[in-house]
Amino acid sequence: MSRIFITGSTDGLGLAAARTLMKEGHDVVLHARSRERASAIAETSAAALGLVIGDLASATETRSIAEQVNAIGRMDAVIHNAGIYLERSRGETPDGHAKTLAVNVLAPYLLTAWITRPDRLIYLTSGMHRSGSSALDDIDWKKRPWNASQAYSESKLYIATLAAAIARHWHDVLSNAVDPGWVPTKMGGAGAPDDLEMGHLTQTWLATSDEEAAKVSGGYWFHRQRREAAVEVGDVGFQEVLVEKLAGLTGVRLFEDGA
């Protein structure tokens, strides 16, 4: 049985993944943005290994989340699931970043750096990553007029690229990206056409399965099938520029060897 930490497990795919893993007998550490949101999952958290609290829009709170997780112990797998979709404006996080970038990319980047390295890392991306731009000169939306859909698509391109870069740099960890499909959660909306069940079972499988098919790294997955990601994701030059940008924005370097 494995120990798994899941970000954004108060709702949607994160909560569904947590409940499935707990039903299978795994030890799950849940995450809520606030005490108030934690109270919404009191029944699930009573049966969990732990619950950590913090807002991923803030680097200080993200640091605290990592410390809370590390205090519980080393995880076998971390599912970086939390995300936000169409923000009305760029916003401004306590650290001065665009909120979509902060929650969808900078927070998982920082948690990856700060949480004791697990055996498996899973990052939730989206088919919309294909609409992300390969220009990396304004990833924090300081120059361009705000475009919520573009910002989301780019954030999902960056997180899929980060998963691939980690797979290339860290050979002691399995790092994969998952597109859950368009599923009916708070984010996806009631009319979303894909299956919520299949939308969360790829990440639970990658986190825990002993099947050889699940023990791979650097994959882009949809419904337990490997798919081709956008060409940038596997482009080493693109990966290295992105990782350098993320190090610059956060002040935290993920890889010792160069970028």
Ligand X SMILES: NC(=O)c1ccc[n+]([C@@H]2O[C@H](COP(=O)([O-])OP(=O)(O)OC[C@H]3O[C@@H](n4cnc5c(N)ncnc54)[C@H](OP(=O)(O)O)[C@@H]3O)[C@@H](O)[C@H]2O)c1
Active centre residues (catalytic): 152, 156
Three-state SS annotation for 183-194: CCCCCCCCCCCC
Task: Mark the segment that binds ligand X (CB under 6 A) among 135-143, 176-184, 237-245, 246-254.
Answer: 176-184
Residue 83: CB minimum distance to ligand X, A: 3
State yes or no: residue 218 binds ligand X (CB under 6 A).
Answer: no
Q: Which stretch binds ligand X (CB under 6 A): 80-88, 135-143, 224-232, 250-258?
A: 80-88
Sign of the alpha-carbon torsion through 259, 253, 54, 46: positive
Does 106 help bind ligand X (rule: CB under 6 A)? Answer: no
- The one-letter code for the residue type at 50 is G
Of 103 and 115, which CB lies nearer to ligand X in the complex structure?
103
CB 203 within 8 A of CB 188: no
Residues touching ligand X, count (CB under 6 A): 26
User: Torsions phi, psi of 45, nearest 5?
Assistant: -70, -25
In the chain, the amino acid numbered 150 is: Q
Does 84 engage in binding with ligand X (CB under 6 A)? yes
Pick from 232, 126, 214, 132: nearest CA to 175: 214
At residue 156, what is the residue type? Answer: K
Q: Figure out which of the listed residues 142, 186, 215, 226 binds ligand X, where binding follows CB under 6 A.
A: 186
**108 near ligand X (CB under 6 A):** no
Eight-class DSSP state of 106: I
Whole-number Cα distances in Å, 38 to 15, 41, 52:
12, 6, 9
Q: Which of 124, 151, 166, 229 contacts ligand X by CB under 6 A? A: 124
**Which residues are at the interface with ligand X (CB under 6 A)?**
8, 10-14, 33, 37, 55-57, 81-84, 103, 124, 126, 180, 182-183, 185-188, 192
